[in-house]
Amino acid sequence: MRTQVGIVGAGPAGLMLAHLLHLAGVESVVLEARSRAYVEQRVRAGVLEQGTVDLLVESGVGERLLRERLVHHGIELRFDGRRHRIDLHALTGGRTISVYGQQEVVKDLIAARHAAGGPLLFEVDDVTLDGIDGDRPAVSFRHGGAAQRLECAAVAGCDGFHGVCRPAVPPGVLREYPRDYTFAWLGVLAAVAPSTEEVVYSRHERGFALHSMRSPRVSRLYLQVDATDSLEAWPDDRIWAELQVRLAADGWTLHEGPIIERAIAPLRSFVVEPMQHGRLYLAGDAAHIVPPTGAKGMNLAIADVRVLARGLVELCRGGGPALLDAYSETRLRRVWQAQQFSSWMTSMLHRLPDDGDWQGRLRLAELRYTVGSHAASTSLAERYVGLDPE
């Protein structure tokens, strides 16, 4: 098989890249290890920056998003049992964020891919890359039992943190910046109307809690738990009791309901530099992971491929590799901004196991300053709604 761009991974990064290339008349083939049902049902993040929404809408895949999203003009920071609103809209000259599940974005992009008739193969095995150092890279894989080889002009590694593309780069070329945490997030979906209109981030001495939502009838809630905790340690009544304590605020009630989905995800920070080698370009979680506290993961993935698509289009139209050569440098500036923001939000809001009273007091002081100062609230707001991708 031949195509212009081989794309490994059908998450938001790979699917959006295929879509943007298609709009520019560049052919691609998308290879995904999992089944369509699996990627469409996998519950992930749910906050879209305005720039992400704008790109989805402008590129023609935002119709259902505009109908079903929940537009939020602010977020709430909760600590000491008190509620503090950060007015994102007022502080950023009218920008907002949208709550819309990542798997809904994935469904919309798969539908667009099928409507365009573009190749998208699910359940592929044994993906390997070769020739990425030259200008004729290839992706080999098995599909439906048959071995295949896809030759292309460039390969996009959009296969997430555990994918095969990043490890395909020869040793010594990439530098990795990993950071692990001693805690994780237990995330649940509950069939109950959200008890809040805006996303609530709560710091409590027992640990962090987050109240988000997916629809007027479905709540999305998270608890900071130990990285070693298993789901068996968290029966429903313990989850609700802990949420009640950590989210408690005067005059506010948390409504409980049946828990319909649950998972524990470790927190991780990771960046690889550069995000490219030869004719392989890494995007999304394959190149970087942020802890979810800043809600940046999916937005970074989409911003990566917006920049990458432009470079690939130029290359495929014979315009040369200048834009592509600058891809990693362009994106790493924003990636590190997002790391800094996510790390700051994470440490300010969580109870870290080695926090003594002193650190705890400093984190509270930081929170009080953030909600009390116009300058500090503005700084949070402009980064939460998202910086320009370049």
Q: Which residue out of 137, 194, 291, 292 is catalytically annotated?
A: 292
Pairing of strands 218-226, 154-157: unpaired
Residue 293, binding choice from ligand APR, ligand PHB, none, Cβ under 5 to 8 Å by partner class: ligand PHB
* 190-229 footprint of ligand APR as x/- string (CB under 6 A): ----------------------------------------
* 123-162 footprint of ligand APR as x/- string (CB under 6 A): -x--x------------------------------xxx--
3-state helix, strand, coil split of the chain in percent (to 5) is 40, 30, 35
Residue 46, binding choice from ligand APR, ligand PHB, none, Cβ under 5 to 8 Å by partner class: ligand PHB
- For 129-149, give the secondary structure using H, E and C: EECCCCCCCEEEEEECCEEEE
Long-range Cβ pairs for the range 208-212 (8 Å, 24+): 208/246, 208/293, 208/349, 208/350, 208/351, 209/242, 209/243, 209/246, 209/247, 210/185, 211/243, 211/247, 211/254, 212/46, 212/47, 212/99
Dihedral through CA 365, CA 371, CA 377, CA 380, nearest 10? Answer: 70
Residue 386, binding choice from ligand APR, ligand PHB, none, Cβ under 5 to 8 Å by partner class: none
Query: Is 76 an interacting residue with respect to ligand APR (CB under 6 A)?
Result: no
Q: Which is nearer to ligand APR, 9 or 389 (CB)?
A: 9
Residue 199, binding choice from ligand APR, ligand PHB, none, Cβ under 5 to 8 Å by partner class: ligand PHB
Query: Is 32 an interacting residue with respect to ligand APR (CB under 6 A)?
Result: yes
Amino acid at 210: L
* 264-303 footprint of ligand PHB as x/- string (CB under 6 A): ----------------------------xx-x--------
Binding residues for ligand APR restricted to 285-324, rule: CB under 6 A = 285, 297-298, 301
DSSP state of 251: T
Dihedral through CA 166, CA 332, CA 8, CA 42, nearest 10? Answer: 100
Q: Which is nearer to ligand PHB, 115 or 231 (CB)?
A: 231
Q: In what order do the strands lie in the sheet with 146-151?
A: 124-130, 138-143, 146-151
Active-site residue, 201 included? yes
Q: Which residues pair with 268 in a beta bridge?
A: 180
Question: Which residues carry out catalysis?
Answer: 72, 201, 292, 296, 384
Residues in contact with ligand PHB by CB under 6 A are 45-47, 99, 199, 210, 212, 220, 292-293, 295
